């Protein structure tokens, strides 16, 4: 395999971005691979930064977060909304909103189940 720019020069590896063979003269070590000097170098660094950032957001690898899973948060939100609705009709309208309370209880039970199973399996969904 020869360098895509300098025909006879033997390549040392492939660029991470364009996958062309590069010789030591054209290649830049970007930490986790090679890139074409100038052309792909900036792009690879950008990509690395993006990957790093999304790893932080999604809690992948080293950035694995201690946050509860999305399912737990969803049920927590739903039950809070239902308890809120029940409280509002109790305190403001002075009536007991049975439907909201029953829904709130069901959502809270669901929250407990989801939380328990996510703790048990350690799965993030
Ligand atoms: Zn390249
Ligand atoms: Zn070259």
What's residue 122's pLDDT? 55
Within a domain: 92 = yes
Pair (74, 57) in one structural domain: no
Q: What spacing in Å lies between the alpha carbon of 81 and ligand 2's midpoint?
A: 62
Instruction: State the residue range of the domain holding 29.
Output: 13-63
User: What are the φ/ψ torsions at residue 101 (nearest 5 degrees)?
Assistant: -65, -45
Pair (44, 86) in one structural domain: no
pLDDT in tens, 23-32: 998 998 887 7
Q: Starting from the CA of residue 14, give the closest ligand.
A: 1
Q: Domain tally for the chain? A: 2
Query: pLDDT under 50 in the chain at which residues?
Result: 125
pLDDT in tens, 34-50: 899 887 888 888 888 88
Within a domain: 107 = yes
CA triplet 84, 88, 91: central angle to 5 degrees?
130
Q: What spacing in Å lies between the alpha carbon of 24 and ligand 1's midpoint?
A: 13
CA–CA dist 81, 84 (Å, integer): 5
């Amino acid at each position: 395999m020869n360098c895509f720019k300098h025909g006879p020069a033997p390549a040392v590896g492939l660029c991470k971005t364009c996958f062309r063979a590069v010789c030591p003269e054209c290649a830049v070590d970007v930490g986790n691979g090679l890139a074409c000097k100038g052309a792909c170098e900036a792009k690879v660094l950008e990509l690395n930064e993006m990957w790093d950032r999304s790893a932080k957001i999604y809690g992948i690898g080293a950035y694995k977060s201690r946050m509860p899973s999305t399912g737990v948060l969803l049920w927590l939100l739903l039950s809070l909304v239902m308890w809120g609705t029940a409280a509002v009709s109790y305190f403001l309208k002075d009536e007991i909103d049975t439907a909201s309370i029953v829904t709130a209880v069901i959502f809270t039970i669901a929250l407990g189940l989801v939380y328990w199973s996510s703790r048990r399996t350690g799965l993030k969904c």
